[in-house]
Structure 1
């Protein structure tokens, strides 16, 4: 490392976390030894050990006898929306290792939720574009994602009404065609009971009406003309959420 300031354990953990989220380190891949990391980052073995413990606690790595530390299969780990967006910015890849998305839908709907209307600065019952998809990693459904997009985006990206995946994050198309800058608000997290249709999308097999708590992450995007999109992620019960910072 050429930086004068030595990185802390959290920064070292972030470095490897990004490699794992981006797919540069796939499940089963071996991480460098702690001594190699100590030399690369010019830090103490104690700092490296704390970084490795953090990755293990997050479920991203596991010890393997005779080998060292390897990337885990991560059956219960899902990246946050912010992490996915950062990965797209770094790599251009819409998916992580062994990940895809299914059950894409796109339609016009009127806003019945006062909170959503306020977030988009619209009136109740105004129309928005609603796009949904379910992220799947290694055969496991992990996240049900809903995007509510301001109708004005259709002027420049009419493809939003197609249920087919766009091949890239739609906002990149919007920015390229309009020259506008899109900013994201800080990610907001809350917990609530899942709706039956969300459990169905996530493949959670319970009787209708069964209370199942889920974690929900919300991101709001805006350009110079105001709010553009509210993106809500509903995570399958029991998943860890991992960011890259």
Structure 2
């Protein structure tokens, strides 16, 4: 241990083990030394070792298996999602289904739709009045049987009400763009705002998000010129996706 002012011993231990994990000295599935072993290695008490391990668990780097000890957590391979090329061709079905199939995975999703009224936040995003009727649909997306994404979408019933696409998953056409095309609503662009936060209990349980790993929240809105026609909140675990933006620059 290096003694210097202001750096507690448990953080020095966490720094050392973290470096070994990130540099590949300790790899996914490797077992860390036992608590007595770490106490002997670093010359500290059991409580200091436990504090260091808790830091690493909170960062999602290790997992504790009851009765066995602590192991380096396997990091999920990051899936790159490219906004610029996502709609380089006008989609004819669900973008999620197309992306999963292209990567060799089997896409599935379950959902629940219901009529409700717009909250102030949703009304602002859809440029409608608070209390206006909307269709709310909650999705759970799976790839090869594993949940990978959650989404909650809202569509103004002033646009879709009474049409064949009022129920987003109730017809033969899936995907916002082809559905809107079918009723003559031409989506011209998509906007996304991305933020990060801690996973809420349901999100962590459903997506199997380890403690300390944040989720990415993508607020996506589809527009017919200046008119918003659908908005959604999309949740993915930050250790599974890279949001890579490639945007065209107009000629001079």
Residue in structure 2 matching 1:144, options 142, 146, 150: 150
Residue pairs, 1:1-245, within 5 angstroms: 75-80=76-81, 82=83, 85-86=86-87, 89=90, 94-95=97-98, 96=100, 97-112=104-119, 114-155=120-161, 157-161=163-167, 163-164=169-170, 166-178=172-184, 180-204=185-209, 213-224=214-225, 226-243=227-244, 245=246
1:48-75 Cα distance to aligned partner (Å, 9 max, x none) = xxxxxxxxxxxxxxxxxxxxxxxxxx94
Report the Cα offset of residue 218 of structure 1: 1.5
Runs of 4+ in 1 over 4 A off after TM superposition: 90-93, 162-167, 203-206
Distance in 2 of aligned mates of 1:121 and 1:234? 23
Q: Is the 8 A contact 1:78 1:142 kept in 2?
A: no
Point out where structure 2 has 5 or more consecutive residues left out of the alignment. Answer: 1-74, 247-252
Q: Is the 8 A contact 2:133 2:158 kept in 1?
A: no
1:126-154 Cα distance to aligned partner (Å, 9 max, x none) = 22111222222233321112211111232
Q: Is the 8 A contact 2:168 2:174 kept in 1?
A: no
Instruction: Tell me: CA distance 1:79–1:116, structure 2 relative to 1, closer, same or farther (3 Å).
Output: farther
Instruction: Tell me: CA distance 1:77–1:202, structure 2 relative to 1, closer, same or farther (3 Å).
Output: same
Count of matched residue positions in the alignment of Structure 1 and Structure 2: 166
Give SS of 2:183's match.
helix
Distance in 1 of aligned mates of 2:155 and 2:193? 18
Instruction: Tell me: CA distance 1:116–1:171, structure 2 relative to 1, closer, same or farther (3 Å).
Output: same
Q: Is the 8 A contact 2:189 2:224 kept in 1?
A: no
> Larger Rg: 1 or 2?
2
Point out where structure 1 has 5 or more consecutive residues left out of the alignment. Answer: 1-73
